[in-house]
Amino acid sequence: MKELILNGSRNTSRIFIDKGLLQQAADLCLADLSTEDQPSKICMISDTNVAPVYLEVLTEQWEPRGFEVCSHIITAGEEYKTLQTVSEIYETLSRNQLGRKDMIIALGGGVIGDIAGFAAATYLRGIRHLIQIPTTLLAQVDSSVGGKCGVDLPTGKNLVGAFRQPDKVIIDMNVLSTLSREIFSSGLAEVIKYGCIWDPEILELLSADELQRNLEEIVTRCVKIKIHVVEEDETEEGLRRILNFGHTIGHAVEMLGDFTRFSHGEAVAVGMVAAVKMGEAFEITKKGTLQNLTAVLKKFDLPTDIPYNRKDLYGALLTDKKKQGDCIHFIHIEEPGKTRQVKMPVLELKEMMKVLGD
């Protein structure tokens, strides 16, 4: 079992990576906790896709130990990552009388991790114990690590949120075997992002025929990058912005599709293509990068065509939380492994976007 450590400003995250960890989850959650620091009540937050498969495996580990366990199941889908859903979680926590010393476990993909983390950060001004158990590739390599959590508004993605580092992240590689090809490929978009912004060897591992054999190494590499970036810039004032490569236009694509037409990973794939296309046109990005990026995305059936007109995309990205006044932080890559952060006037970005077509 690999154990990685992320030292946040307020707490430390212990991140475990191995096969079969779901069956050891309770032991890992309680490891290093004194008797006085242990919770008495636990709320598991999951969704209608994950709960029927994995919730019982977790519940049966806690009840024999004498812990009071409750659960809150939300309807699966990004469109349910809303303040209304958070309010319903608060009601479950309140009805079951969870206190500040108790524990919330997020069992699911990125949506569950975000919304459970936000609930843990805000209920009673903060619940002591937060555990992330990511069940999708996207959540394992990215969203479960680093403490960013939040919900969407009708006007944009993740516009309400907080920074709340999880105490433990339990990454069980076995759960990936139950994912559909579509959801698995969506996670690979974030993997490809890490290869583009930091570690080009990840792209080589993806190109190899033995993807499944390389998968644990790929996940570990991505998590290590996330740890390094977050420890240097926890609240996204500088280096952490590079993790948004492909996300500015990607979030606009998600919003225009009402958070249902494209998954997060699919939208990020489109956003990365757009960023590289603009980068090559304005001699920021090395020629040939677009061709190589498009090839690896297509290998995993990820979209590469921009599905909306330029005017609508521009209007949608103006609501992005990375916009500051009349400027927006935009991430280009010069070549795989080398990024360039640009704080540009939104009107300049509008001009650059002309290369994307009508």
Known catalytic membership, residue 226: yes
Tell me, letter by letter, the H, E, C secondary structure of 280-339: HHCCCCCCCHHHHHHHHHHHCCCCCCCCCCHHHHHHHHCCCCCEECCEEEEEEEEECCEE
Known catalytic membership, residue 343: no
Known catalytic membership, residue 244: yes
* From 129, 251, 277, 332, active-site residue: 251
Known catalytic membership, residue 3: no
Tell me, letter by letter, the H, E, C secondary structure of the chain: CEEEEEECCCCEEEEEEECCHHHHHHHHHHCCCCCCCCCCEEEEEEECCCHHHHHHHHHHHHHHHCCEEEEEEECCCHHHCCHHHHHHHHHHHHHCCCCCCCEEEEEECHHHHHHHHHHHHHHHHCCCEEEEEECCHHHHHHHCCCCEEEEEECCEEEEEEEECCCCEEEEEHHHHHHCCHHHHHHHHHHHHHHHHHCCHHHHHHHHCCCHHHHHHHHHHHHHHHHHHHHHHCCCCCCHHHHHHCCHHHHHHHHHHCCCCCCCHHHHHHHHHHHHHHHHHHCCCCCCCHHHHHHHHHHHCCCCCCCCCCHHHHHHHHCCCCCEECCEEEEEEEEECCEEEEEEEEHHHHHHHHHHHCC
* From 247, 277, 329, 332, active-site residue: 247
Known catalytic membership, residue 214: no
* From 41, 129, 148, 193, active-site residue: 148
* From 264, 277, 329, 332, active-site residue: 264
* From 41, 72, 168, 240, active-site residue: 240
* From 125, 210, 237, 283, active-site residue: 125
Known catalytic membership, residue 329: no
* From 221, 224, 226, 277, active-site residue: 226
* From 129, 158, 234, 236, active-site residue: 236
Known catalytic membership, residue 261: no
Please give the C-alpha separations between residue 294 and each of 204, 208, 242, 276, in angstroms, as whole numbers.
14, 16, 20, 10
Binding site annotation covers 110? yes
Known catalytic membership, residue 236: yes
* From 72, 224, 244, 254, active-site residue: 244
Known catalytic membership, residue 228: no
Binding site annotation covers 247? yes
Binding site annotation covers 325? no
Binding site annotation covers 190? yes
Binding site annotation covers 136? yes
Known catalytic membership, residue 247: yes
Binding site annotation covers 148? yes
Catalytic residues, by residue number, are 125, 148, 190, 226, 236, 240, 244, 247, 251, 264
State the binding site for Zn(2+). 190, 247, 264
State the binding site for NAD(+). 110-114, 135-136, 148, 157
State the binding site. 110-114, 135-136, 148, 157, 190, 247, 264
